[in-house]
Structure 1
Amino acid sequence: MVTGKLLRVPAAVVILAAAVLIGWRVLAPAEVLEPATGALPVAVTLPPGVTGKTTMAPLIVAGSVRVYAGKRLVKADGPVEAKTMYTARWSFRRWPEQLTGIVAVAATVVTRWSDGALVALDGRTGEQVWRSAGPAAEPFTGRTGSAAVWAPPGLHTAGTSVLVTDGRQLIARAATDGTQRWAVTLPPGCGDGFVTAGGRYVCSSGAWDVLSGTVVRGWPTGPFTAVGCDVARSDCAGLRDGAGQGWLTGARRPERAPALDAPAATAGGDLVLSASADAVVASRADGEVWRWAGAAQVLGVRAGRAVLLTPDRRLIVLDAATGAQRAVFPLYVPDERVEPWQPDGWQLTDGYLAVQRLEPDGSFYTTDPVVIAAL
């Protein structure tokens, strides 16, 4: 009996050791980078129309790949015009950290993680470009990753720089190699701001030059509402100040634009676009430039195009200079059920539009809620 008990003790030790080893392998901190092996998808110019839909929200990078955010990974597929999500070209996983957000400068994709790490990857290949440590950041939220790729907390772009905010700290790093260009301490209550097309980082307390980090004097009084922004609340064409007055922000100094006072108005380049129940009007300081008859929401202005979304979910593409109609098509995939939906975030690039769609009750529109269209 004693011998049997002694034999069982070593067996139990072996089982326990094996369990510990398995647990360590599963739970130990780890990173897995799987770079691309195939050729880069070729960017193509397509006629205007819907190209496909995806389960996750993409960040369209360099006009050729789509980058997605998951809770603990970032991955990419392509081409942009693919009808659905494809097998990942490359992926980068971190455990147990969570992805906070992603921004892209040209082909460089900068990822921020819950432990504060900034990891820059080549968006075409997935290979690591640079890495920098930083303070802890917010965890991943949402199912599709739309917040992480289109409105990442504490991440902005400004020319060739990536701006990172943490509390009252604002840091500018070169997107090419991660070199810190400058850092400033923001005033109390500043909050996470936005970057103007004219090269200013703006929060409720004021404005800072994105090239040097120096304070910009003579700015309107906040808090501010940014309008006409690209993803990551960057390249914003205008704002409304604390008194509700509108300003164009494409130049180094803001330019007063009374037409932008209206809550339904937005900006694109040097234009103010005002939407009403029966028209969208584009104007400058010297008056009306063009008028499009009908009700529509302005999604943005990019590459000389003004992009509108009608209540019946048709996409209208106009020449931004003249208002001439370039294209019109329903924002549904062929053979998809045609029912009302609401836009819930989008990315407008030089050649494509990606929109996340919600049902009227706030649930996702189909299991593939993001529709992508060529412009």
Structure 2
Amino acid sequence: MGWTSSRRRIVAAVAATGVAGTLALVGYRVLAPAEVSTPARGDYPALSRPEPKVVGRLPVAPLIVDGRLRVYAAERQVYADQPADGRHRSTPYWSYRRWPATLDAVVASGTTVVSRWSDGDLVALDARTGRVAWRAQGPEPDGKRSARRTGSEVVWQPQGLSVIRTAEGREAVVSSGAGEVRAVDLADGGQLWRAEVGRGCREPVGGSTSGQLLSLDRCAGPTVVEFRDAATGVVAARWRPPEAGEELTANLIGCVPTGCAGLRTAGPGDGAARGWLLGSGEPVAAAALDGAEVELLDGTAVTLAEGVVVGRAVRDGTERWRTPVGPGRLIAVQPGRVHLVTEENELVTLEPTTGRQMSRFVLNVGADGTGWVPGRAYAVDGYLAVERLRPSVDLEADDHGYYFTAEPLILAAT
């Protein structure tokens, strides 16, 4: 009797150990850090050049890469579909997923897509195949990124991650956070430099077309704009606008994927924002860029007032052209194109050096109608994507009350 009871206890203990081991293995497989890369199986899509029109609507914000793919951001995934002018989001052309890290930012240059994750890792993907091109360690982001369901903040307004073309023509991926800035070579991920900076008192602004990383430094005394060489990490200058107050905000204008040509500064609540041209030395005042609604493109300052778009030479303010379009909003620019949306939600595209109208059509798709207001916009490679928001939108509303439809992104070829 005793032997039987002992044997039962031994069998039960062995069984319990086996169950615990199985559960541990399952838990490890589910919870352990992992990545899943699903490369492209089809051919790289051909470059399409659709005529100016609305080409489709999407549930999430696209990053147009090489004029051929659309790249999207999810909480733990970056993925692509094709073609760039597809009417709807389609089955992923390739996908890259990590766990448990979350996606913080995505940038692209040429056929390289670089993703930044919550643990600071940088993962570069070859857009043509979806395969990992290189990995590098960067600083962890300053806090968890808050993004709505379209993910436009991650792909259109990446914070702390930039691709900057240096003065020598090399492209550097610069990441900032956790009291540190690092730069790696876009070509292979090799580290170019690393610098420790003040934690919690520095705000990366972005890169200039002259190969510098701009940051706002509030670590000691009044806010200054710091210019750091993207190739070496050396601080080239620290600058404050004349007569600036203690606090300062700064936004880049006249941007292409690898740098921006201008800067706009203002104090808290200051409606009189000042515009500056960026170069190898200190920023140069450009009165034609003053004001929050001025865009910079191809050496021209573009404004919309009382239904008329005016282009002025950015250095001396001389008027170059004026084009009546009606009341609306100057929404985005890209090389060779100025985009405006009228009160009737017509998209008007002008040529920036002459003001000639290139295209004009209503931003409507299916039976959606035009009863929406524009949100964030993004323009590249001849395409324009716009978030459609509910009229009189409440900025604090949840996504259902914020966006116009379940597929709020409208995509147009211009």
TM-score scaled by length of structure 2: 0.83
- 2:222 maps to 1:195: no
C-alpha deviations, 1:244-279, integer Å up to 9, x for none?
Answer: 321123676533211222222222231111222332
- Partner Cα distance (2:55, 2:295) in 1: 27
- 1:76 is displaced (CA, Å) by 0.8
Q: Which amino acid aligns with 2:135?
A: R
List per-residue Cα deviations over 1:110-167 (Å, max 9, x = no partner).
1111111111110121111111123322435322221111112210111211111124
CA RMSD of aligned residues (A): 2.4
Mapped to 1, the partners of 2:297 and 2:21 lie a distance apart of: 63
1:52 deviates by 0.8
Query: What's 1:82 paired with?
Result: 86
Judge conservation of contact 1:41–1:64 (CA < 8 Å) in 2.
yes
Shift of 1:106: 0.9
Whether 1:271 aligns to 2:310 is no
Q: Does 1:369 align with 2:399?
A: no
Cα separation, partners in 2 of 1:133 and 1:199, compared to 1, 3 Å: closer
Structure 2 residue identity aligned to 1:316: V
Does residue 356 of the first structure (1) align with residue 387 of the second (2)? Answer: yes
Task: Tell me, yes or no, if structure 1 residue 216 matches structure 2 residue 236.
Answer: yes
Any conservation in 1 of the 2:62–2:70 contact (CA below 8 Å)?
yes
Which of residues 119, 123, 130 is equivalent to 1:126?
130
CA distance in 2, matches of 1:139, 1:254: 33
CA positional deviation for 1:229: 5.0
Residues in 1 aligned to 2:155 and 2:73: alpha-carbon distance in whole angstroms: 7
TM-score, normalising length from structure 1?
0.91
Equivalent positions of 1:48-87 (< 5 A) are: 48-87=52-91
Displacement of 1:353: 1.1
Kept after mapping to 1: 8 A contact 2:206/2:252: no
Q: Retained in 1: the 8 A contact 2:298–2:335?
A: no
Give the paired residue count: 373
Structure 1 unaligned regions, length at least 5: none
CA distance in 2, matches of 1:172, 1:334: 45
Corresponding position: 1:235 with 2:239: no
| Residue 247 of structure 1: aligned partner | 276
Amino acid at match of 1:367: A
Question: In structure 2, what is the equivalent of residue 20 of structure 1?
Answer: 24
Give the aligned residue type for 2:160: G
Aligned position for 2:146: 141
**3-state SS, counterpart of residue 203 of structure 2:** coil
The answer (yes or no) to whether the contact 1:77–1:87 under 8 Å persists in 2 is yes
Q: Does 1:256 align with 2:269?
A: no
Q: Distance in 2 between matches of 1:218 and 1:26?
A: 49
Q: What letter is aligned with 1:172?
A: A
- Partner residue, 1:177: 188
Q: Which stretch of the first structure deviates more once superposed, 178-187 or 26-35?
A: 178-187
Q: Distance in 1 between matches of 2:279 and 2:337?
A: 17
Percent identity over the alignment? 35
From the superposition, tell whether residues 346 and 124 of structure 1 become closer, same or farther in structure 2 (CA, over 3 Å): farther
The Cα of 1:175 is off from its aligned counterpart by 0.6
What secondary structure is seen at the aligned counterpart in 2 of 1:212?
coil
Matched, 1:225 2:250: yes
SS at match of 2:204: coil
Q: Distance in 1 between matches of 2:304 and 2:280?
A: 24
Specify the SS of the correspondent of 2:188: coil
More divergent stretch after superposition (264-273 vs 1-10): 1-10
SS of the residue corresponding to residue 191 of structure 1 reads strand
Larger Rg: 2
Matched, 1:283 2:312: yes
Determine the C-alpha separation between the residues in 2 that align with 1:109 and 1:252: 31
Equivalent positions of 1:84-99 (< 5 A) are 84-99=88-103
Q: Match for 1:361: what amino acid?
A: D
Q: Distance in 1 between matches of 2:190 and 2:130?
A: 20
Larger displacement relative to structure 2 (7-16 or 362-371)? 7-16
Change (3 A) 1:14 1:191: same
Distance 1:116 1:372 in 2: 32
Q: Secondary structure at the match of 2:354?
A: coil
Note the C-alpha offset of 1:91: 0.8
Please tell me whether the aligned partners of residues 155 and 164 of structure 1 are also in contact (alpha carbons under 8 angstroms): yes
- Rounded to whole Å, the distance in 2 between the matches of 1:8 and 1:247 is 77
Q: Which amino acid aligns with 1:257?
A: A
Q: Secondary structure at the match of 1:103?
A: strand
**Structure 1: which amino acid aligns with 2:146?**
T
Where do 5+ consecutive residues of structure 2 fail to align? 166-170, 217-223, 268-272, 396-401
The code of the aligned residue for 1:322 comes to T
